[in-house]
Chains A and B, each alone.
Chain A
Amino acid sequence: MPRKDVEIPLDTTSLSDEQLAAAAAREGSDGPAFTALVDRYQQRVYRICFRLLGNEHDASDAAQEVFVRLFLHRGRFAGRSKYSTWVHGVAVRTCLTIRRGRTRRKRWETLVPEQSVGESTASHGGEAAAEMLDLPQMLDTLDEDDRALLIMKYAEGHNYDALAEMFGLSVSACKMRISRARQRLKQRFPEHEF
């Protein structure tokens, strides 16, 4: 006689992200709560990865890695912040790790065409640089954290509280870093208002 599963189905559509996260912490990788979270967040996480990494292949790879980390560390979400902020923070940190690894590799291989263009033209000042560089390339002249902060602030539209949570900084430190990064861009590309 076939065994009848006594399982209460989880109505994932009516649950908040935080409730789903709590349910996901109790279930396996193919459970309905984690699957629902992947569905809800895949576009947002992919978009952040694309903005930070700049191409579809790396973005897809990084976004998958983000969800693996979310699953493996699902018990660490303590509910102090919104779940979405926590997810975005994991996405940012994953992408920063990938970019730092990529920069190290580039340094070893001495294949830094984009950055060397950015740095050399920036050091020679404004107009030539502006003609040769678009905005993402200008951002590449900043260090990784500052670049990510600007992208999350201006491209993704997060406020300082959320940025502080994502980057593990205080709100005032976030403001300071963004202000200094903009200052640096102004100095390098004086013909633009940053």
Chain B
Amino acid sequence: MATDSSFLDQLADVEVPVAPPDFPRQVHHRLNHWLLGLHIGDMVAGAFPYAVQHFARAVVGLVQLTLSGEYPVADTED
């Protein structure tokens, strides 16, 4: 049983194990997973708006063709 002068000071005496020997490898492993996820996230975030814009243009063209019978053609200079 603890004696009372400094009961909280006993916290310093609690035995703490050392970190596992392959701890740095585990850290780098986890970090690589994180970085891979972040890169994929960045790529998706960049590619998604482009894909939406690309397909939306085609859908708008299809609707326009259905309503007017004319497909919008970009002006070209001969």
Contact = CB atoms under 8 A, between A and B. Distances in A.
B23 A42 contact: yes
A155 B17 contact: no
A71 interface: yes
Contact of B17 (A42, A56, A130, A136): A56
Contacts of B35: 29
A154 B11 contact: yes
Given A39-B24, A42-B19, A29 B32 contact: yes
B27 A67 contact: yes
A38 B11 contact: no
A192 B10 CA distance: 12
Main secondary structure of the interface of B (DSSP, over half): helix
Main secondary structure of the interface of A (DSSP, over half): helix
Contacts of B28: 29-30, 38
Contacts, number: 80
A140 to B, nearest CB: 13
Contacts of B20: 60
B23 A154 contact: no
A63 interface: yes
Nearest to A131: B1
Contacts of A46: 16, 18-19, 23
A103 to B, nearest CB: 21
Given A42-B23, A47-B16, A63-B19, A68 B31 contact: yes
Contact of A38 (B5, B6, B9, B27): B27
B11 A150 contact: yes
Nearest to B13: A155
A130 B26 CA distance: 40
A177 interface: no
Interface of B: 1-2, 4-12, 14, 16-20, 23-24, 26-28, 30-32, 34-35
- Lowest 5 A-B CB distances belong to which pairs? A193-B4, A155-B11, A46-B19, A154-B8, A67-B27
